[in-house]
Each structure stands twice: as C-alpha cells, then as structure tokens.
Amino acid sequence: MRDRPAVSLAVSLEAGQWGDVTRTEALAASVLAAAAQDLAQHEAQPFPEDPPEVSLVLADDAMMAEINNQWRDQPKPTNVLSFPACVLAPGGQPGPMLGDIILARETIEREAIELNKPVDEHVSHLIVHGFLHLFGYDHNENKDAEQMETIETRILISLGLSDPYGDTEPV
C-alpha cells in the first residue's frame, strides 16, 4: 500500500502556444501530487489504491470559448474549466477517472500579467482550482468559496507560491 496518495496524469495539447509541453506536464504532476497529499492529510480525502486519472487539456481562448459556450452558455473564454467524470462530494471516494481540467493559454497569460505573477504560478493555481472542482468543491456560496479558497491557498503555500486571494472576499 502507498503511503502517499497518487494521481495519474494525461496531458493533451489541443490548441494554443504552450511551448514545452513536457515542462507543463512536470509542473502539473508536481502540483497535483501536492494537492492530493494535502486533501488526504487535511481533508481526510480517500484515494483508491490505483491512482485515479486526471486529464489536463491545454487549449487556447478560441477552443475554451467554444467549450464554455457549449457547457455553460457563456460564449467567451475563461481561464480554467473542470469536468468531473462522476459527481463527487468532498470526502467521497473517487473512481478510476477524476475528470478533465482544461486551461486556456491566452487568458492565463493575460491574467498573469494583470496579477503580476509568473505564468507558471498562475497555471499552478488554476490546476489546483480545477482539481478541487473534480473533488466536488465549489465556490457558488460564500461558505463554500471560503472553504475552497482556504484549501487552494494552503496547497499553493506548500508549493512555495503566494496566496492567490490575499485580502479579497471569497468569489
């Protein structure tokens, strides 16, 4: 039996200028490992013996706008979308497939500039954010947003990254 929870990662470059995809894959793998460890340790999140799979889709704004329009009736790009393979409540046992996390390169680059952060730091935050959605965390209600943001911040700090929310109100 493993002493650390694990996640299997499949990366797919679908659109956009992502540069060295193996570098992005390595970043995502380390971020997901930290996130899984945090959830297991601090949130008592169970993990199956065989690592569940996360699919990371690297997209551009045009592709993201199409997906966002199709699934959320919002015909514009967004930074990250998550699609759980199965509905999962926080603390529930995941199956073999967690789901998909889709990232939009141009939006992420624009936001990183606006936030005065390195792109990799913003990508890391969005992967954590998307990963938590796969486990049933959400930010529709203030209480839920506070919980999700607390977990995100804790994971990012464990990776040596800054608090993405600082003194802002939960979204």
The pTM of this model reads: 0.90
Give 32-89 as a DSSP string. Answer: HHHHHHHHHHHH-----SSPPEEEEEEE-HHHHHHHHHHHHS--S--SEEEEESS---
Mean pLDDT estimate for the chain: 87
Q: What is the pLDDT of residues 138-147, one digit of tens each?
A: 877 667 668 8
Q: What is the pLDDT of residues 49-70, one digit of tens each?
A: 889 999 999 999 999 999 999 9
What's the pLDDT at 81?
94
pLDDT above 70 as % of the chain: 91
Q: Domains, the chain, ranges and CATH?
A: 8-158 (3.40.390.30)
